[in-house]
Amino acid sequence: MRPKVDPKRWASSVWFEGSVPKHAFNMWITHLDRLPTRSRLACWGIPTSVDCCFCGRETETMDHLFVRCRFSTQNLVLRSSENCSNTGSFPVLARDPLSDK
């Protein structure tokens, strides 16, 4: 029905044996630049706040969520540095990364 397209370079990092389907799907949507962020939902006419759901300080865009948001980037760094096993899951954080304590 659709013409065959060459596989994307990132496909093997998203779709691999042992991947968590929910995580793979979210990464696939992210790589296609189709992540339904709050700013995209607002552009589609859905009445919602465009503030980031994690920090509430900036507009929630894909770039903000993965690069600039202090909460999500600290959370990703903490989780990836603490994850020494190949279980495919992240450990639960014992503290809030935004707290100064």
pLDDT at residue 39, as a whole number: 93
Flag whether pLDDT at 89 surpasses 60.
Answer: no
State yes or no: pLDDT of 78 exceeds 70: no
Question: What's the length of the chain?
Answer: 101
Q: Look at residue 92 in the predicted model and tell me its pLDDT.
A: 45
Buried b (16+ CB within 10 A) or exposed e, 72-87: bbebeebeeeeeeeee
- CB distance 62 to 35 below 8 Å: yes
The pLDDT tens digits of the residues spanning 1-58 come to 778 888 888 788 888 888 889 988 988 898 888 999 999 999 999 999 999 988 999 9
DSSP lists the bridge partners of residue 51 as 59
Greater pLDDT, 64 or 95: 64
Question: What is the arithmetic mean of pLDDT over 76-93?
Answer: 52
Cβ contact 64:58 at 8 Å? yes
